[in-house]
């Protein structure tokens, strides 16, 4: 039974690794700024250059970046050139930081939720900034208000935002909307050498702050090849910001699909990360 599971996993892992290598090891350089030989570039899905929106509707921008032979990129969002979020590192003392974990290849995906757009928000520029401490790249999306949607009243069924009479009511409504947990940045895929460390991202929002848990699917961490709940131990640490830090990677124990779950009293959200530990090449 175990041999059959390992064989199936190896085929699955090889196929997934080839897809990642095919995208991350042939990164386009047209998007790269300030570095001639950069190791970070954007991948699909990528925010559009221009996005037409209606007043008071909600929209989501999705941005993904890949890195090779360097730290995994972190993604931040800017509104009209100014940061929209506070930095959320919160690594524990003694655990390897994002900048210290150099990976073979990795991808990072982030979402920006724009809820119940105001006039100012619906006519702003939003920048996705990907930075791995070595290279920084960015792409800008300009929101454009569709004609005839400037009025304060709007269609509830179309927008998904309750009718509000003033900005105070809108603020109260948004306070309810943002309660639900959201995973706003995670690591869809990562290639790393066996014996090294890895950090899988899982950054969340919600009120109260959601509890983050991790599971390994299809791996052999629990010696069954099925599903294992990951807790802090000698090789695993769940950071205060939700990231999963792993040490001394092993193919048979650590290869597989990791699921980050964020949960609070108002809901639950999931994100998947595929990790493939590579065998180091002999010199």
DSSP 195-247: TS-EEE-EEEE-SSPPEEEEEEESSSTTSSSSEEEE--SSSEEE-TTSPEEE-
**Which residue range forms the structural domain that includes residue 140?**
2-28+40-278
Give the pLDDT mean for 38-65: 90
The three-point CA angle 130-117-173 to 5° equals 110
Total domain count, the chain: 1
Q: What is the pLDDT of residue 161?
A: 66
The three-point CA angle 188-38-89 to 5° equals 50
Distance CA 163, CA 153 (A): 7
Cα Rg, the chain, nearest whole Å: 21
Q: Is residue 13 part of a domain?
A: yes
pLDDT, tens digit, for every residue of 166-208?
666 666 666 666 789 999 999 999 999 999 999 999 999 998 9
Strand, coil or helix: 54: coil
Distance CA 12, CA 277 (A): 13
Distance CA 196, CA 249 (A): 6
pLDDT, tens digit, for every residue of 124-133?
999 999 999 8
Q: Is the pLDDT of residue 41 over 70?
A: yes
Q: Is residue 237 part of a domain?
A: yes
Q: Is the pLDDT of residue 60 over 90?
A: yes
pLDDT, tens digit, for every residue of 217-265?
864 444 555 788 999 999 999 999 999 999 999 999 999 999 999 999 9
Q: Is residue 210 part of a domain?
A: yes
Q: Is residue 141 part of a domain?
A: yes
Q: Give the sign of the dihedral formed by CA 233, CA 133, CA 47, CA 154.
A: positive
b (16+ CB within 10 A) / e for 156-178 = eeebebeebeeeeebeebeeebe
List the single range of 61-75, 113-127, 161-175 with lowest mean pLDDT. Answer: 161-175
Give the pLDDT mean for 162-166: 58
The kind and range of the H/E element at 271 are strand 267-278
Q: Which of the two residues, 160 and 117, has the higher pLDDT score?
A: 117
Q: Is residue 34 part of a domain?
A: no
Q: Is residue 94 part of a domain?
A: yes
- CATH, residue 160: 2.60.40.10
Distance CA 201, CA 275 (A): 12
Q: Is residue 124 part of a domain?
A: yes
Question: 103: left (phi > 0), else alpha (psi -120 to 50), else beta?
Answer: beta
Distance CA 32, CA 24 (A): 14
Q: Is the pLDDT of residue 78 over 60?
A: yes
pTM: 0.80
Are 240 and 92 spatial neighbours (Cβ–Cβ below 8 Å)? yes
Q: Is residue 33 part of a domain?
A: no
Give the pLDDT mean for 144-160: 60
């Amino acid at each position: 039974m175990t041999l059959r599971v390992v064989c199936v996993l190896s085929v699955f892992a090889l196929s997934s690794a080839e897809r990642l290598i095919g995208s991350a090891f042939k990164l386009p350089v047209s998007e790269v700024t300030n570095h001639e030989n950069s190791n970070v570039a954007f991948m699909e899905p990528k925010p559009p250059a221009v996005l037409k929106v209606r007043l008071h509707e909600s929209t989501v921008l999705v941005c993904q970046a890949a890195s090779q032979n360097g730290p995994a990129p972190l993604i931040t969002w800017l509104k009209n050139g100014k940061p929209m979020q506070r930095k959320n590192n919160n690594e524990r003392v003694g655990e390897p930081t994002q900048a210290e974990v150099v990976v073979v290849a990795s991808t990072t995906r982030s979402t920006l939720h724009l809820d119940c757009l105001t006039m100012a928000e619906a006519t702003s520029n939003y920048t996705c900034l990907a930075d791995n401490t070595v290279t920084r790249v960015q792409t800008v999306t300009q929101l454009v208000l569709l004609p005839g949607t400037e009025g304060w009243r709007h269609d509830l069924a179309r927008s998904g935002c309750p009718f509000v009479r003033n900005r105070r009511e809108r603020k109260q409504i948004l306070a309810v909307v943002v309660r639900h947990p959201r995973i706003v940045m995670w690591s869809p895929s990562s290639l790393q050498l066996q014996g090294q460390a890895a950090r899988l991202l899982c950054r969340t929002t919600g009120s109260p702050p959601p509890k983050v848990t991790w599971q390994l699917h299809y791996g052999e961490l629990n010696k069954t090849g099925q599903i294992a709940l990951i807790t802090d131990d000698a090789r695993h640490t769940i950071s205060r910001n939700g990231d999963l830090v792993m040490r001394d990677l092993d193919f048979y124990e650590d290869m597989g699909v990791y699921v980050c779950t964020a949960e609070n009293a108002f809901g639950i959200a999931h994100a998947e990360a595929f990790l493939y530990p590579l065998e180091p090449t002999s010199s």
